[in-house]
Each structure stands twice: as structure tokens, then as C-alpha cells.
Amino acid sequence: MNTINTLGPNTPRIALIGECMIELQQRADGTLQQSFGGDTLNTAVYLSRELGTRGIVDYVTALGDDSFSDAMCQTWADEHIGLGMVQRLPGRLPGLYCIQTDAAGERRFLYWRNEAAVRDCFTTPAAAPILAALPDYDVLYFSGITLAVLGVQGRVKLLETLIEARQRDARIVFDNNYRPRLWASVEEARAAYRSVLPYVDLALLTVDDEQALFHFSDGEAVFAAYEQIGTPEVVLKRGAEACLIRCDGESFEVPAQKVERVVDTTAAGDSFSAAYLASRLKGGSAVEAAEAGHRLASRVIQVPGALIPKD
């Protein structure tokens, strides 16, 4: 296995796989602000912004043929995200979620996603050429939420794709993002995670999710487990605390940036992951990448919603 910044000098092509949903942000007066979001989509947007012309970012998902799906695609195009891997399924709709935040900026999510088009992303006839094209990317990025929403058949297709991509020297990036409500049982989730982890080159982990899913006692237990798997680069995100990194046998601790007032922590981890990956793809060290991740996340949590306005 190789670390992310050992890619060649050519402009890297990155495909992020997952779900974008209609986002409703509940304001203090009870009104709703509508936008779009989803973990891998948030990362795709911030990654595209961070890389600029130094990377090609495509999003892989399935949407409906409705006006919300049209608006999503236009938003992504405006962010310079490629749409060639997006399926549009007639009669289907994207999922929807509402964010409610408390006085401390912590959030509660309400979801409507059981019939979302993304659940058939890898099982339609139109998915065949997409699956065939994915192994030719330089980097494939997906999350624990991706694993959940794809379902059993979709996960089989994803695993086959990861194996072939690794054979073609692609790098695999995984954000653990464990959401218990998306799984029938913790055992199902563990099995799904364990099936893909041997093919991951960069694991972007949230400590709370690792403890909830695998019951690790602390960060050292997490690193020991991923070392046994053979993951060469592991980043342990810990919110406002310093992140911990284990990269090719070396350990680093990188402090988070202090923020006077947290408004909304939505997409804090997604934006960190985007900036970290972008820095590594541009040749930055693991420490420099973590510093970039903290900088972006500190800006994101001071603005409502998943995606902050462009500079």
C-alpha cells in the first residue's frame, strides 16, 4: 500500500461515491432554509474548492428526474464537480433531512431517505459503465454512510470495484461516518466495514464512531487495529481536540484551531477530510494536511449549514 501523496505529477482524478440530500436548516424563528448536503458531497465541494485546477473531482450517485435533482446538478456544476457519473432515475427522488441545532451549535438530524434514488446507484443497468470506469480514477473516496445507503447488493459491487481499482494502483480513501440508524444491526455494519478496510490507503476516522462501532477503548487501540489491517495512513479526528495521525509508522498530534463561537458543527469532519486530502494530493505532509483540515473546519463551524459561501 502507498500513501496518498505518492501519486504521480499528473492532475489527479478523484471520484467521491455517496448520497446528496435536500437539506432543511431550521432557524430560531421556526422557518426553514433549504440547501443540499451529504457527507461525501460536502467533501466533494470542499475538495474541489481546495484543489482548484490541481485536481478533477467527480461525484458518483443516483438522483431523480425532479426539480430538486436538477438544482443539485446545477449546484455541483457551479462548484466544478463533474456530473458524468451521476445517474438520473425516472420517477425517483433524492432523500431529505432537517438540521436542528441547539444553543451550543450541536445538531440533531431528522431524515426521510428510505426511498432515495441512491439506494439503486450500483444495481441499475445504467450503473455498469460507471462501475467499469471507476477503477481508472486515481483516488476513490467513500464513507460509512455510502456503505449503508448502497445496500447489500450495492456493497458487493463497490467491493469488487475497490479491488480492481487497487490492482490499477488507485488510492482508496475512507471516512468511517458510522450512523447506527442506517443499519439493521451493529453486526451488519461491522461486517460491511471489515470487508472494505483491507483495501483502504487513507482512513479518516472520527473517534466517537470508532468507539461506537468497534468498542475501541482509546486512540491507541484504534491505531493498533488499523495497523493490523495494514492501513498505511490513519487520521483520528477528535472534534475540538487535537487530531492524531499514524502515517507509515510515524505518529503526529496536530492541535485544532480555537473558535470563539460555534454556530453549527455540520460538515466539520467532512471539510476537514477534504482539506486534508487536498493537501496530501498537492504534496503536503501529514502534519501540513491536518493543519489545513483544522483551518477549514474552524471556518465551517462558524456558519449555519453544511456548505459555507465561497470566498
**Average pLDDT along the chain:** 94
CA-closest candidate to residue 203, choices 184, 229, 170: 229
Helix (H, G, I), strand (E, B) or coil at 93: coil
Question: Residue 171 and residue 158: Cα distance in Å, rounded?
Answer: 14
Please tell me the predicted confidence (pLDDT) of residue 221. 96
Question: Residue 4 and residue 280: Cα distance in Å, rounded?
Answer: 6
Burial class (CB in 10 A: 0-12, 13-18, 19+), 260: exposed
Each residue of 227-283: pLDDT tens digit? 999 999 999 999 999 999 999 899 999 999 999 899 888 899 999 999 999 999 999
Q: What separation in angstroms does the CA of 31 have from each of 38, 100, 139, 249, 263?
A: 21, 11, 40, 50, 17
Q: Is it the case that residue 10 has pLDDT exceeding 90?
A: no
Question: Residue 174 and residue 229: Cα distance in Å, rounded?
Answer: 14
Cell numbers 425532479 correspond to 66
Please tell me the predicted confidence (pLDDT) of residue 109. 80
Each residue of 192-218: pLDDT tens digit? 999 999 999 999 999 999 999 999 999
> Listing from the earlier edge strand, what are the strands of the sheet with 32-37?
32-37, 21-26, 96-101, 107-112
Give the least confident one: 113-117, 154-158, 292-296: 113-117
Q: Is it the case that residue 311 has pLDDT exceeding 80?
A: no
- Mean of the pLDDT values across residues 280-287? 96
Helix (H, G, I), strand (E, B) or coil at 183: coil
Please tell me the predicted confidence (pLDDT) of residue 189. 98
Please tell me the predicted confidence (pLDDT) of residue 179. 94
Q: Which residue is catalytic, options 120, 209, 264, 270?
A: 270
pLDDT band at 1 (very low <50, low <70, confident <90, very high): low
Please tell me the predicted confidence (pLDDT) of residue 28. 77
Each residue of 88-135: pLDDT tens digit? 999 999 999 887 877 776 768 888 888 899 999 999 999 999 999 999
The backbone region for 298, taken as left when phi is positive above 0, alpha when psi lies in -120 to 50, beta otherwise, is: alpha
Give the three cell numbers for residue 69. 435533482
Question: Residue 40 and residue 274: Cα distance in Å, rounded?
Answer: 9
Please tell me the predicted confidence (pLDDT) of residue 71. 97
Mark whether 264 is an active-site residue.
Answer: no
pLDDT band at 176 (very low <50, low <70, confident <90, very high): very high
Percent of the chain with pLDDT over 70: 99
Per DSSP (E only), the strands in the chain are 13-17, 21-26, 32-37, 56-63, 81-82, 86-88, 96-101, 107-112, 139-143, 171-175, 202-206, 233-237, 243-247, 250-254
